[in-house]
A and B are shown apart, each in its own frame.
Chain A
Amino acid sequence: SQTIHQWPATLVQPVGSPLSLECTVEGTSNPNLYWYRQAAGRGLQLLFYSVGIGQISSEVPQNLSASRPQDRQFILSSKKLLLSDSGFYLCAWSADTNQPQHFGDGTRLSIL
């Protein structure tokens, strides 16, 4: 069966520090991969999605970037974190664009 892993589960970082969140999927090949941010009292906002290695689409201009160095690995990065980057970050995968998205358990990021 397919599983998705995100780490770390929680992270506290100072303003201006770099960020790297990792997401890996097991049990499937060539998945579509997604990064979302969930802010309190709001829905999930799609940040990036990828349909293949090295193929990244950005949904909103921001301080973050994403990379897909391997088929089942999706990384969310920042060179310099802002206070506004705090939130709950979720990675998701789908088998293709006609299949449901399945979410990981997220990373709670707090910027101090």
Chain B
Amino acid sequence: QQQVKQSPQSLIVQKGGIPIINCAYENTAFDYFPWYQQFPGKGPALLIAIRPDVSEKKEGRFTISFNKSAKQFSLHIMDSQPGDSATYFCAASKLGGNEKLTFGTGTRLTIIP
């Protein structure tokens, strides 16, 4: 019940396209859903996060869509650039306790010029 399933495992998109990465969770108690971006040899960096009281959140070219009834959320990257090439992780947790993020397995995104 603690799993977060992420797909696809890898994704290649042409510059300007809109890569979409999907995640599904099982634990209905989760109420915090962040996305992290990780470049090779670096630690993950928080990109954007959403709470289940909204269905969409945008920050710059990054958008999270959230479907509470389906227990799914996804990351969209508008006007993707080669510099967006990285591994993306979704995660989920329940705020308000000693929070432990449950991570998806990651998506390696490559944006080709």
Interchain CB contact under 8 A, A97 and B43: no
Decide if B98 is an interface residue (CB 8 Å cutoff). yes
Sorting the interface of chain B by its residue count into under 10, 10 to 19, 20 to 34 or 35 or more gives: 20 to 34
**A residues less than 8 Å from B43 (CB atoms):** 6, 90, 92, 103-106
Q: How close is B67's CB to chain A, nearest CB, in angstroms? A: 21
Contact of B89 among A44, A57, A92 (CB under 8 A): A44
Interchain CB contact under 8 A, A51 and B101: no
Query: How many Å lie between the Cα of A41 and that of B103 in the bound state?
Result: 12
Decide if A100 is an interface residue (CB 8 Å cutoff). yes
Interchain CB contact under 8 A, A49 and B100: yes
A residues touching B (Cβ–Cβ < 8 Å)?
A: 6, 32, 41-46, 49, 51, 57, 59, 90, 92, 94, 97-98, 100-106, 108
B residues touching A (Cβ–Cβ < 8 Å)?
A: 4, 6, 9, 34, 36, 41-46, 49, 89, 95-101, 103-106
Known: A43-B105, A49-B98, A57-B98. 20 other contacts (CB 8 A): A32-B98, A32-B99, A41-B9, A41-B105, A41-B106, A42-B105, A43-B4, A43-B103, A44-B44, A44-B89, A46-B100, A49-B100, A59-B100, A94-B99, A97-B99, A100-B34, A100-B46, A101-B101, A105-B43, A106-B42
